[in-house]
């Protein structure tokens, strides 16, 4: 087994032993139950004593649901990665491994892969169940849901890698605020860009050049609402997401190579 | 003719801000020999070890480990390291911690499992193999540290205060393990405050004081007639 695989396995086991992961697993299971109720409801309104079926709102509901779950998965990736490398520096695991013939970036990427295995598995479960309910219950097409799931992966890698990089210099609470902040700002920028006129300069720049977390999912799910002005340049936005993931990995490798171990 | 050098520091300076932890230090260790690295607290011993393992870079000067820059992972092939404070994840098991080190040392498959079991028996942890690190006493953790350092039969051992936390029996065991590694041909760099341990294990010493090399050479040359190593150490670091 290669050094990377050994270290990835160790990082995964180390992550699974943490109480935070257990708490997140419980929270995710609870959210699945809420999603079950949410996705299974039959929207209707009562106007002047007459009930009107709002089944046509299902695609909008589905898109909103998928995006909320996707944002949670990306946030989860950042939170889990926020101390997984820093902790290994504190508990001596990093020095024990790096005294052996292990490259710095190999160790850092293995730690990242360990947390991403958990967050992506949780993401596949949450998004998969949500998509299943929407496809079977609301008769929405499965393809866009699958693409939306794929669109989350670069976002998870980018946010987790940047969170891990920042953890070499900042405390965990600061990383958590950063993760929430980045996910929030990029989502607001994506929603403002849908609202018609050009959003303010800052948000426009974020929407055009920032990590496309919500915007990639919106584009993936656009086929659920044919005939609407939702943007459809999915491939270009996904490519930007891949570039951000690569930047995250590069920053992690560069920062960990420069750090002095104690 | 000069023997093959296992490690070498040449005119090494390491600064932390304005403070020089090492100020122009040079010493080397030939393969198959043992060097005791001595010095009062804060003399720069642990800094020298960190540089040798590539954990930090020198401000100036050259550090070579097995002929290579220590930051090159190939330099650390066949190197075993025991830190002063063996700190491992509390939730890891004894077997898991040693098996990881064995894997990183290049042991694979069934050989790895057998080597881990053999090593745990060797350091007296055979019956604690499934315990978590957090359940062990300081002395037992030190034994885990020895297992991690010794697994894979390293050609170079870097030991920082190896008997720290060990009881007298453990200290005697540790001396035996180090001596056996030497008998197997390993070079040993031993940092310790226990001078009797250095005298028994090493043929040469390097004494650091205030980040500078106060003396180095065969023990017989550093110690004057009628002096013990302790007397020589006190004389050199008091000067």
Among A96, A102, A110, A258, most B C-beta atoms within 10 A, so best to mutate, is: A96
Q: What are the chain B neighbours of A88 within 8 Å (beta carbons)?
A: 89
Could you give phi then psi for residue A238, rounded to 5 degrees?
-65, -40
Cβ contacts below 8 Å, chain A against chain B, sum to: 80
- Alpha-carbon radius of gyration of chain A: 20
pLDDT of residue A43: 58
Sheet with B79-82, strands from edge to edge, namely B79-82, B156-160, B187-191, B34-38, B204-209, B212-218
Q: List pLDDT tens digits, range A49-74.
A: 666 555 667 788 888 999 999 999 99
Q: Is the pLDDT of residue A197 over 80?
A: no
Q: List pLDDT tens digits, range B79-119.
A: 999 998 887 888 889 999 999 999 999 998 888 999 999 99
Q: Which of A17, A95, A103 sits opposite B91 (nearest CB)?
A: A17
Q: What is the mean pLDDT of residues B179-195?
A: 93
Q: Is the pLDDT of residue B235 over 80?
A: yes
What lies within 8 Å, CB to CB, of A257 at 6+ separation is: A104, A105
Q: Are B217 and B75 in contact (CB under 8 A)?
A: no
Residue A155: band (very low, low, confident or very high) from pLDDT cuts 50, 70, 90: very high
| Interior/surface letters A106-129, b for 16+ CB within 10 angstroms, e for the rest | bbbbbbbbbbbbbbbebbeebbeb
Rounded to a whole number, what is the distance in Å from the CA of B5 to chain A's nearest CA? 19
CA distance linking residue B45 with residue B12, whole number of Å = 13
CA distance linking residue A73 with residue A70, whole number of Å = 5
Strand B79-82, strand B19-30: pairing: unpaired
Q: Is the pLDDT of residue A231 over 90?
A: no
E strand segments, B33-191: 34-38, 60-65, 79-82, 156-160, 187-191
CA distance linking residue B16 with residue B22, whole number of Å = 10
Whether chain B has a CB inside 8 Å of the CB on A36: the answer is no
Q: What is the mean pLDDT of residues A255-260?
A: 94
Q: Are A70 and A148 in contact (CB under 8 A)?
A: yes
Q: Is the pLDDT of residue B217 over 50?
A: yes
Q: What is the mean pLDDT of residues B192-221?
A: 91
pLDDT of residue A60: 85
Q: Are B101 and A100 in contact (CB under 8 A)?
A: yes
Q: Are B59 and B65 in contact (CB under 8 A)?
A: no
Residue B1: band (very low, low, confident or very high) from pLDDT cuts 50, 70, 90: very low
Look at chain B and count its residues: 239
What lies within 8 Å, CB to CB, of A237 at 6+ separation is: A151, A212, A215, A216, A219, A231
**Nearest-CA residue of chain A relative to B75?**
A101
Q: List pLDDT tens digits, range A98-151.
A: 999 999 999 999 999 999 999 999 999 999 999 998 888 878 889 999 999 999
Q: What are the chain B neighbours of A256 within 8 Å (beta carbons)?
A: none
Whether chain B has a CB inside 8 Å of the CB on A20: the answer is no
Q: Are B23 and B13 in contact (CB under 8 A)?
A: yes
CA distance linking residue A255 with residue A104, whole number of Å = 10
Q: Is the pLDDT of residue A171 over 80?
A: yes
- CA distances to A214, B30, B117, B137, B149 from B33, in Å: 62, 6, 28, 32, 17
Q: What are the chain B neighbours of A111 within 8 Å (beta carbons)?
A: none
Q: Write the ipTM.
A: 0.89
Q: Are A81 and A116 in contact (CB under 8 A)?
A: yes
**Nearest-CA residue of chain A relative to B77?**
A101
Give pTM, 2 decimals. Answer: 0.88
Q: What are the chain B neighbours of A92 within 8 Å (beta carbons)?
A: 83, 85-89
The three-state secondary structure class of A96 is helix
């Amino acid at each position: 087994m290669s050094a990377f695989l050994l270290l990835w396995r160790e990082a995964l086991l180390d992550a699974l032993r943490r109480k935070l992961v257990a708490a997140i697993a419980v929270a995710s299971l609870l959210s699945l139950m809420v999603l079950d109720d949410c996705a299974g409801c039959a929207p209707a309104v009562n106007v002047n004593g007459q009930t009107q079926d709002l089944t046509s709102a299902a695609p909008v509901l589905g898109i909103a649901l998928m995006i909320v779950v996707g944002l949670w998965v990306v946030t989860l990736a950042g939170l889990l990665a926020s101390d997984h490398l820093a902790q290994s520096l504190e508990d001596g695991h990093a020095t024990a491994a790096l005294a052996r013939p292990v490259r710095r970036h190999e160790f850092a990427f293995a730690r990242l892969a360990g947390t991403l295995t958990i967050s992506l598995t949780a993401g596949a479960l949450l998004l998969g169940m949500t998509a299943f309910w929407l496809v079977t219950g609301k008769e929405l097409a499965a393809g866009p849901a699958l693409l939306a799931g794929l669109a989350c992966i670069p976002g998870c890698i980018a946010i987790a890698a940047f969170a891990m990089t920042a953890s070499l210099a900042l405390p965990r609470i600061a990383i958590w605020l950063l993760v929430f902040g980045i996910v929030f700002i990029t989502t607001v920028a994506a929603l403002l860009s849908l609202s018609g006129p050009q959003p303010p300069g800052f948000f426009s720049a974020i929407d055009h050049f920032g990590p496309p977390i919500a915007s990639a999912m919106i584009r993936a799910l656009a086929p659920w609402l044919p005939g609407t002005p939702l943007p459809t340049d999915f491939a270009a936005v996904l490519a930007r997401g891949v570039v951000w993931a690569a930047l995250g990995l590069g920053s992690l490798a560069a920062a960990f190579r420069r750090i002095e171990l104690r | 003719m000069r023997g093959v050098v296992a490690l070498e520091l040449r005119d090494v300076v390491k600064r932390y801000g304005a403070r020089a932890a090492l100020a122009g230090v040079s010493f080397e260790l030939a393969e198959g020999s043992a060097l005791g690295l001595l010095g009062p607290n804060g003399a720069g011993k642990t800094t020298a070890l960190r540089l040798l393992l590539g954990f930090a870079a020198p401000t100036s000067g050259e550090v070579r480990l097995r002929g290579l820059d220590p930051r090159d992972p190939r330099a650390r092939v066949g190197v075993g390291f025991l830190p002063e404070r063996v700190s491992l994840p509390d939730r890891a098991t004894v077997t898991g911690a040693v098996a990881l080190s064995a894997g990183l040392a290049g042991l694979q498959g069934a050989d790895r499992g057998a080597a881990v079991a053999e090593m745990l028996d060797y350091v007296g942890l055979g019956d604690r193999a499934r315990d978590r690190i957090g359940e062990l006493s300081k002395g037992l953790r030190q034994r885990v540290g020895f297992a991690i350092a010794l697994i894979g039969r390293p050609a170079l051992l870097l030991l920082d205060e190896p008997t720290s936390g060990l009881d007298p029996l453990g200290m005697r065991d540790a001396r035996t393990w180090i001596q056996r590694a030497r008998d197997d041909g390993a070079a040993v760099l031993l940092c310790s405050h226990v001078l009797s341990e250095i005298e028994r294990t090493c043929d040469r010493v390097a004494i650091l004081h205030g980040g500078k090399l106060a003396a180095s050479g065969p023990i017989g040359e550093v110690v004057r007639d009628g002096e013990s190593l302790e007397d020589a150490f006190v004389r050199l670091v008091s000067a």
